[in-house]
Structure 1
Amino acid sequence: MASPLASVRAQDAVLEFLNTVVPRNGQLLDLFQSDEDVLAWLERTGLLEMVVMREDGIYRGLATEARQLRENVRQLVLQRKLGQLVDTGLLNWVLGAGSYQMELVEDEAGNLNALYRFPAQTPTQVLVPVAIAAAELLVRGDFLLVRQCESPDCPLWFYDRTKSHRRRWCNMTICGNRQKAARFRTRLLCGGLVEQE
């Protein structure tokens, strides 16, 4: 049976999950400051619509669980990227907490779709769709194309889907231009020193 999250979008969502620690003013800022921050992120990525929430919708400790999962996934991605053995226990603790229900639905055009729903009574269970997407990335992702930004001050990851597969920066207008400007300044400085001799 196909995984409920075996899609390009879900694989990219895993890297977006890692990218919830962002560089700001020379420091790293964690975007998961509260449980609500995590729920808002899950909603933006479309993963929350798969979660069957408790009636009260309150999951105390979700931010702590999400930060732990994020760092575990970061470690797994690094292990996979470096060709090392992957410590499956880092992800299996979340995968083992979940279960799913499948619902067959027909859309307006008459197409049948299988919708997966993940009942969530605990904060860990809310994160099961993220863990499944991470497992799919680790199993099926092309780790020649999963890259970390080459800027030394940037922790962000991306999946290089460019035609040439030569992307080097998380964002060309930010990190790419910054690196190009630094190289240009170095060339000017070195050129200036050479001319003075």
Structure 2
Amino acid sequence: MNADHVFVCGNPALDFAATLRARRTLRFETLVSPERLDAWYLRAGMVDTLSPSRESDVARAIAVREAVYGLVTARRLEEPYDDEALATVNGAARKPPVTPQLTAAGRRTDATPEEALSTVARHAVEVLSGPDVPLLKECGNPECTRVYIDRSRGMRRQWCGMESCGNRLKAAAYRARRKRAQEPAGQ
């Protein structure tokens, strides 16, 4: 499985929650090092530069990620929130967030790992308390556990993203139909 970070969920907190992939089967972890955590913050466009993360920052980020995933799942299934998950996300959100600065060259955002994580937590608070709650869906790929915001017309989107899951499932379904059509009758 590719370890590159993917941003298809429609909200940074949802994309962050998806950094642990295939939760029901393989449990593929993408935040395996401080460098991978920093790469996520940079690729997400949250920061321009980041003071280097440490292992303790990775542990905090994973705790917040798991709390966000638990809260998103509870909200999507209309179940009560876990108190510990609430405390984890709210605690991170209370910290100072990333603060963009205006420079002669334009906008610049330098941050610490704690500020970047606070910004992720604040995105979680916003998505879980805002108008997009009814649009939260889990990917239709049984191997994928990404939750995304379905803003498609008619809310008919089935996959977190066509490139990541949709094309793969459509191709597999096509191959299965074709194989069935080629089988001799009576088998």
TM-score (norm 2): 0.70
Deviations 1:6-41 (A, max 9, x none): xxxx96101110121235xx8442110112221221
Largest Rg, 1 or 2 = 1
SS at match of 2:144: coil
Q: Are 2:156 and 1:170 equivalent residues in the alignment?
A: no
1:13 aligns with 2:34: no
Residue aligning to 1:84: 79
CA RMSD of aligned residues (A): 3.9
Query: For 2:147 and 2:159, how far apart are their aligned partners in 1?
Result: 9
Aligned residues with identical type, % of pairs: 29
| Structure 1, unaligned runs of 5 or more | 1-9, 109-115
Aligned to 1:152: 142
Q: Which residue of 2 aligns with 1:37?
A: 36
Unpaired segments of 5 or more residues in structure 2? 1-8
Contact in 2 for aligned 1:11/1:141 (Cα 8 Å): no
The separation in 1 between residues aligned to 2:58 and 2:13, in whole angstroms, is: 16
Q: Is the 8 A contact 2:98 2:110 kept in 1?
A: yes
Task: Call closer, same or farther: CA 1:104–1:62 in 2, change over 3 Å.
Answer: closer
Deviation at 1:49, TM superposition (A): 5.8
Structure 2 counterpart of 1:46: 45
Q: Which residue of 2 aligns with 1:138?
A: 128
- Tell me which protein shows more strand as a share of its residues: 1
Contact 2:67 2:89 in 1 (8 A): no
Residue 5 of structure 1 corresponds to none
Using the TM superposition, give the Cα deviation of residue 43 of structure 1 relative to its aligned residue in structure 2, in angstroms.
Answer: 2.2
Label 1:100 to 1:67 Cα distance change in 2 as closer, same or farther (>3 A): closer
Q: Is contact 2:68–2:124 with CA below 8 Å preserved after alignment?
A: yes
**SS of 1:144 mapped into structure 2:** helix
Deviation of 1:73 (Å): 0.9
**For residues 57-92 of structure 1, what are the alpha-carbon distances to aligned partners after superposition, in whole Å with 9 as ceiling and x for unaligned?**
454411111112111111110100011112243133
SS in 2 for 1:93: helix
TM-score by length of 1: 0.67
Which of 82, 96, 104 is the equivalent residue of 1:100?
96
